[in-house]
Structure 1
Amino acid sequence: MIVTPVRAVVLDIEGTTGSASHVYDVLFPYARERLAGWFAAHRGEPAWTELMEELRIHTGDPQLDEGGAVAVLTAWSDQDVKAPPLKRIQGLIWAEGYARSTLTGHIYDDVPAALARWRRSGIDRYVYSSGSVAAQRDWFAHSDHGDLSALLNGYFDLSGAGGKRDPESYRAITRAIGVPAPETVFFSDVGEELDAAAAAGWRTVAVRRPGDPRGPKVAGHPTVSALDDIRLHRPTRREEGAWT
């Protein structure tokens, strides 16, 4: 069991707090098949206008029309491109699904108890995912374990923090949450993301859920199969002094 003194926890979603297969087998297809319908239903509304402008900037095509936008987004969806405009519309479509109770966010059984335990210990709890902040909020608010919103302090996405394999993104989160890098721990199932966080001075814990085809370990990082395998606590004054 790993025991680590920290002030803040930052959690990935896919493969860490929730099933990656739920994202790829349920959420992505759900949004993809509704792209054209969303544009038609919201044509001329502020969200439609903002998304079209974002797509024109991102693609470098100032003449991009609605049909072209749907084609671009569909291609990005098929290729799993981590493009902010795609993440934005996926979040908007999923929000409608959550509101209609046709979608729920998958959360591993150990996660709610871990979040509650860390909250009792006075440790701040954040999420950092490639999905939009809105999509992250919906995932936890409409989870298969109920509304977990109260167990989280905040959310970060590609638009707000940057790419997850870039150390500067983690430095940006450090500045935003006001917790020193050595007192922050990042949980993820992706080695390159953990490497970037470590390069920014964060502590890291890899999560590899049972049955993950990539194997049970992540090179260079302590690895757990569930959040029950780690105990976190706020640093004592002596521990704080060791990091200054």
Structure 2
Amino acid sequence: MSIKAILTDIEGTTSAVSFVFDVLFPYAAKHLPDFVRQHAERADVVEQLAAVRADSGETGADVERVIEILLEWIAADRKATPLKALQGMVWEQGYQAGQLKGHVYPDAVEALQRWHAEGYQLFVYSSGSIQAQKLIFGCSDAGDLSPLFSGYFDTTSGPKREAASYQRITQAIGVQASEIVFLSDIVEELDAARQAGMATCGLAREGGELAGHVTVNSFALFDPGTF
């Protein structure tokens, strides 16, 4: 069965891990405290602060304690959905102010544009929030790439290393799992996608193999027509 949709990870796949860890995370850590203080009564922020309290088990935490928890989560690289949502709000301000530009590898830009032109549906699945995903591609150093994508998925679809998450995504996309190919640099994610019935391709940009999966070191070397 031929591939109809391409689902891609971001960190280490379309974009450098260093952009997230050396640019985005420090920016959020620096600006998040004041953002939370200034917008603590805004409805969408209120919702996420409540989720932080619930997730941490500190339901009575005041705003300053919630900020401490968020900074602890950032330092630990915790994949917490309310943290990702709040980081996305902070990054949005940075992108709008021109202080941030999303990094996307040139080979990924070229391939995504080509695949879109060839009629493939393109989707993103990343542990970063959907808002953050849209910002990386919408405000990228290659311009606005958002028209290329048909949809975005984050941890609200489930953990990236569990097959059930990819089953939910398959249902949302609306094609057979075997008609979707998932691209990632993490073998456990690729394993989970395969368990859900998807085709897989590993990105090993520094070389090497992702065990059990077709592996390339550049988007230019991946041809979805061969799956």
- What is the alpha-carbon distance in structure 1 between the residues aligned to residue 47 and residue 84 of structure 2? 13
Q: Which residue number corresponds to residue 19 of structure 1?
A: 16
Larger C-alpha radius of gyration, 1 or 2? 1
The count of corresponding residues between Structure 1 and Structure 2 is 227
> 1:105-116 alignment to 2 at 5 Å?
105-116=102-113
Q: Give 1:229's aligned amino acid.
A: L
Q: Deviations over 1:197-222 (max 9, x none)?
A: 01111100000113xxxx52111111
Q: Give 2:107's aligned amino acid.
A: D
Task: Name structure 1 gaps, 5 residues minimum.
Answer: 236-244
> 1:160-175 alignment to 2 at 5 Å?
161-175=157-171
Matched, 1:223 2:215: yes
Match of 1:196 among 192, 195, 202: 192
Q: Give 2:192's aligned amino acid.
A: A
- What is the alpha-carbon distance in structure 2 between the residues aligned to residue 74 and residue 155 of structure 1? 26
Q: Deviations over 1:150-207 (max 9, x none)?
A: 1111100001x11000100000000000010111000000011001001111100000
> 1:42-191 alignment to 2 at 5 Å?
42-159=39-156, 161-191=157-187
- What is the alpha-carbon distance in structure 2 between the residues aligned to residue 120 and residue 95 of structure 1? 28
- What is the alpha-carbon distance in structure 2 between the residues aligned to residue 126 and residue 167 of structure 1? 17
Q: Which has the higher contact order (CA 8 A, sep 6+)?
A: 1
- What is the alpha-carbon distance in structure 2 between the residues aligned to residue 52 and residue 64 of structure 1? 10
- What is the alpha-carbon distance in structure 2 between the residues aligned to residue 120 and residue 53 of structure 1? 43
Task: Name structure 2 gaps, 5 residues minimum.
Answer: none
For the aligned residue pairs, the C-alpha RMSD in angstroms reads 1.4
- What is the alpha-carbon distance in structure 1 between the residues aligned to residue 82 and residue 63 of structure 2? 13
Measured after TM superposition, the shift of residue 58 of structure 1 is 1.3
Q: TM-score, normalised by structure 1?
A: 0.90
